[in-house]
Structure 1
Amino acid sequence: MLFLKALAVGLAIAAPLGPIGALCIQRTLARGFWAGVAGGFGTALADASYAALAAAGFAAFAAVLASVSVPLGLGGGGFLLWLAWRGWPRSAPSAQPAAAPAARGLLATTLATYALTIANPATILSFAAIFAGLGLAETAGLAAAITVVAGIFSGSMLWWGALAGGIAAAHHRLPDAFALWVARLSSLMMGGFGLWSLARVLG
């Protein structure tokens, strides 16, 4: 029961389409299924990291967030703006099938989405709220903590795998301009969230 509750939390946190979701769709369209899964894996690892902190106790969780909120906001906001600039399409994507990404590219995608998810204030707030609302903060013991972390990771990965798989399967049925507009939307969303993150820290 505890695992299923944590699984639901992982799904609930991953499902809303934000900059990470748009980035996952963009990567899947440009580089294929495994690139999308690699991005989702980074996000799921970040969700599990927050779950581990929360399972250790909300006092410690809040103290850690308070001590790093400013550098996280600055670093995350700057990184989002950089990704928005890099990701803005200068030309229409090629209609050729995406080549299989190299292991190095998959690792870079995983690390980038991990960093973005860790630094995203919206993820931090929604995670803490859902975690407390479902009573997961009241779990005690190492076995319960491991179960919660595993459930949240599994729920997050379930969503990202389904999203990447659905986009990859539907890719050839989508109009040619779809990838171009997704890339533009992804860059605009990342730029907007980046500016919001910087304004929140500096304001």
Structure 2
Amino acid sequence: MQGLWVLLQGIVLGFAIAAPVGPIGLLCIRRTLQHGPLMGFFTGFGAAIADTIYGGIAAFGVSNALSFLRGHEIAFQLVGGVFLLVVAIRTFSQRPDAEEREAACAPDSKTWIGGFMTGLSLTLTNPATIMAFIAIFAGFGLGGTLDRVEASTLVLGVFLGASLWWFTLSMGVAAVRHRISDRGLVMLNHCTGVALAAFGLWALGMAATGIAASV
């Protein structure tokens, strides 16, 4: 029963950390509408893998990894900020057309892999993710009090919970996809691009503040 309880805790934590709408959520919604639910899900699935990695670091209390992440927080913010700006520009300028609609109906493994790598990279370069796991694990009294089996079970739960959220979001958005016109997709691309650029500028601003404080 203890193992099942830890698994359920992990599922809830993974779902809760993945659910807030951030850059990955916006990309998942846009890519589901423009390229289909698999593309949206794989974008989120990349983030779920990154959440699982950071959840494992927090659950097992790997001090060297935590120290490395904290010591290179500014570098992560710089890389993540630049990456977000690049994705924002591409998203803002993208326009749906007949070819894209046809491509959205055809399986494209390279597109899925690209979506997965985008979600993975953006989440791994966001140090706030690991800090969120550390804070939540500490608040729930998890991490340091767990043995290896329980920590592994908790991390599995995080993976299942995060994956469940991205599956739910992509399938939900796909259900209303046919009601959105090309003009609506263009508006979505513009709004998503602006929002992603705001996230990127915020990350770069945090990095600049950290650099200024260390000088």
Kindly indicate whether the alpha-carbon contact (under 8 Å) linking 2:57 and 2:65 is maintained by their aligned counterparts in 1. yes
1:186 alignment counterpart: 192
- Between the aligned partners of 1:122 and 1:140, the Cα distance in structure 2 is 23
Which has the higher mean CA deviation after the structures are superposed, 172-181 or 159-168? 172-181
Q: Secondary structure of the equivalent of 2:143?
A: helix
- Give the AA of the match of 1:200: M
TM-score (normalizing by structure 2): 0.86
1:160 deviates by 0.3
The 1:91–1:148 alpha-carbon spacing in structure 2 relative to 1, beyond 3 Å, is: same
Match of 1:199 in 2: 205
Q: What SS does the corresponding residue of 1:168 show, helix, strand or coil?
A: helix
Match of 2:172 among 166, 173, 193: 166
TM-score normalised according to structure 1 size = 0.91
Q: CA contact under 8 A between 1:6 and 1:149: conserved in structure 2?
A: yes
**Structure 1, unaligned stretches of length 5 or more?**
none
In the alignment, which residue of structure 2 is the partner of 1:117?
Answer: 123
What SS does the corresponding residue of 1:136 show, helix, strand or coil?
coil
Which residue number corresponds to residue 18 of structure 1? 22
* Of 61-70 and 3-12, the range deviating more from structure 2: 61-70
Equivalent in 43, 52, 56 of residue 39 of structure 1? 43
Q: Which moved more, 1:18-27 or 1:114-123?
A: 114-123
Residue 79 of structure 1 corresponds to 83
Look up the equivalent residue of 2:165 and give its one-letter code. W
Contact 1:9 1:155 in 2 (8 A): yes
Q: Partner residue of 1:7?
A: 11
Q: Which moved more, 1:124-133 or 1:143-152?
A: 124-133
In structure 2, the CA distance between the partners of 1:188 and 1:127, relative to structure 1 (3 Å rule), is: farther
Amino acid at match of 1:182: L
* Matched residue, 2:162: 156
Name the amino acid aligned to 1:57: G
Count of paired positions: 203
Per the TM alignment, residue 176 of structure 1 is displaced from its structure 2 partner at its CA by: 4.5
**Preserved contact between residue 93 and residue 190 of structure 2 (Cα < 8 Å):** yes
- List per-residue Cα deviations over 1:12-66 (Å, max 9, x = no partner): 1111111110000111111101101111110000000001111221644531312
2:66 pairs, out of 56, 62, 69, with: 62
Question: Is the 2:69–2:127 Cα contact (8 Å) retained in structure 1?
Answer: no
Q: Structure 1 residues 124 and 46 mapped into 2: Cα distance closer, same or farther (>3 Å)? A: same
What's the C-alpha RMSD, in Å, of the aligned pairs?
Answer: 1.9
Offset at 1:157? 0.4
Runs of 5+ consecutive residues of structure 2 not aligned to the other structure:
210-215
